A and B are shown apart, each in its own frame.
Chain A
């Protein structure tokens, strides 16, 4: 029995049989199966070594690997993450601008109701942009022994709730340091971190910081957020997906519907999955018909009772805030709305470029990930492997679209109309112009990585947080 109490459906075979199974599975389900050189499984000594060659070696127009999502892990590890309970945390998302000395770790955002967001002495413990300097007395910036690195990791990422940790921090724009002590709690990150109604001379603008499509809770959270905006009669929406790595395509379809409304979305496909040519009209993984995903106009039952009509803003345009962490189902929202000619404006930087997906497959205790489908929109477009980018970007490759290239701004809170990406969206909304990019702190992401000294790595996020994919290294320096 596996961790989910399901009996294993297969029976044990030899190691070479397992490699033959990988060969057959690749031929049947891999998206680019005709680009895989056929190699004799018997010539390999391990299943992972053989699996590593069962992929295309083609590159995208920018030169990056067409398939850089090909990997496996133990099924136990996979299922443990699937079943993970809320984790112990202080509730601060960290951004590593430099993982090696002199290290630079900042707070990207804090979770609602978390120790990080708690008010102590009239001040939030941590705010966006706060730099971490010392953890339990260890110099985070300069420490360079493995023992110190281990202590920093233990302090930053507590193993359990109830652990007290002392931090020395410096807030953005401050000239002195602060010392705070926080106690870890068990917490699941909120899919919708915050919503705002921004009053402007040209009408109310809604703002939603939506950080993940992954947990089932994302359905309820985004419906509640859209409902709030609808009650407030917003006439435009700024959707902040800058840290949203994706998750459930069904929820991204619901979100797209709630933006566009029935008149624009009815009868259209939000996404269509493109499998390898041999699959014909079938999904080669499930064996079922490969039907398009509509713009779901009702609740689906993930966390809201199924069959209830969704609220809709009925907008003709949307402003999406993006970084290289904007991936997968987030990009599907962009592509799906463009597929029905809704005006999508992109403010920020190039998205990660992942129009692909897979069904994780267990075999003999190893779970394999191989690209099996490409998501396309109602116009059958899905070629954005080099990402979406604003029209004025200096980057050569990617799918250009209206908007402004703006560096992520760690000096102001998310949802603050003066935060660089949001401010740019509000300006672009009014007159179609882009701001001149400010220098200084807003360009903090440009800090160069040191190349010497021990790295302090951010651990991969858990399932219940933003989904990551293999294009994003654990060290996220410079990616935001």
Chain B
């Protein structure tokens, strides 16, 4: 799984200049869970999200990805004068095609491959 993800990320990096592997191909995927909630996996997810969202840093909301597949990306905190702040988290789901692990934003089709992350179908 890891080697394929690396290959996918490498190919995309060459084509798109991005570290995140994105595909809209008709891949059948299912919600997935991390095999273990280790810091390396979380870091890989954060790095992928930073590339997808083009942000230098993303903050994740609370979650246990060994039990739930939803990943919450927090918005920037409201500024001091934002009394009516419409800020909302963005939601991604951890999914798998049985071989690779991907992130998919809620309501979107694009899959973003996760390098170095082990997961299983939920």
Contacts and interface: CB of A to CB of B under 8 A. Distances in A.
B82 A358 contact: yes
Contact of B72 (A82, A306, A461): A306
B63 interface: yes
A301 interface: yes
A78 interface: yes
Contacts of A300: 72, 88-89
A329 interface: yes
Nearest to B57: A5
Contacts of B86: 249-250, 273, 293, 357, 359, 373
Given A247-B78, A303-B62, A469 B56 contact: no
Contacts of B57: 4-6
Contact of B85 (A6, A305, A357): A357
Contacts, number: 127
B53 to A, nearest CB: 10
Interface residues of B, number: 27
B56 A6 contact: yes
Secondary structure at the A interface, as helix, strand, loop or mixed, is loop
Contact of A305 (B64, B77, B88): B64
A1 B84 CA distance: 28
B80 A468 contact: yes
B82 A467 contact: yes
Contacts of A461: 80
Contacts of A248: 78, 85, 87
B116 to A, nearest CB: 22
B62 A354 contact: no
A4 B70 CA distance: 25
Contact of B80 (A1, A306, A462): A462
B77 A216 contact: yes
B70 A369 contact: no
A168 B104 CA distance: 60
B61 A246 contact: no
B84 A356 contact: yes
B55 interface: yes
A249 B89 contact: no
A383 to B, nearest CB: 15
A112 B63 CA distance: 28
A53 interface: no
Secondary structure at the B interface, as helix, strand, loop or mixed, is loop
A305 B63 contact: yes
Nearest to A69: B81
A369 B84 CA distance: 12
A147 B86 CA distance: 43
A461 B77 CA distance: 15
A4 B75 CA distance: 12
A198 to B, nearest CB: 29
Given A305-B63, A306-B61, A463 B80 contact: yes
B83 interface: yes
A377 interface: no
A7 B84 CA distance: 27
A216 B63 CA distance: 15
Contact of A357 (B55, B72, B84): B84
29 contacts: A1-B56, A2-B56, A4-B76, A6-B56, A6-B57, A82-B79, A214-B82, A216-B61, A245-B83, A248-B78, A248-B87, A249-B84, A300-B89, A301-B61, A301-B70, A302-B61, A305-B68, A306-B63, A306-B72, A354-B83, A357-B86, A358-B82, A360-B79, A360-B81, A373-B86, A375-B84, A461-B80, A467-B82, A467-B83
Interface of A: 1-2, 4-7, 69, 71, 78, 81-83, 214-216, 245-250, 273, 293, 300-307, 327-329, 332, 354-360, 367, 369, 373, 375, 460-463, 467-470
Given A4-B76, A215-B77, A332-B84, 13 more contacts: A78-B80, A82-B76, A214-B82, A214-B85, A250-B87, A301-B91, A302-B74, A302-B89, A306-B91, A329-B84, A357-B82, A357-B86, A467-B83
User: What are the nearest 5 A-B pairs in CB distance?
Assistant: A328-B83, A5-B56, A246-B83, A357-B84, A301-B72
Interface of B: 54-57, 61-64, 68, 70, 72, 74, 76-89, 91
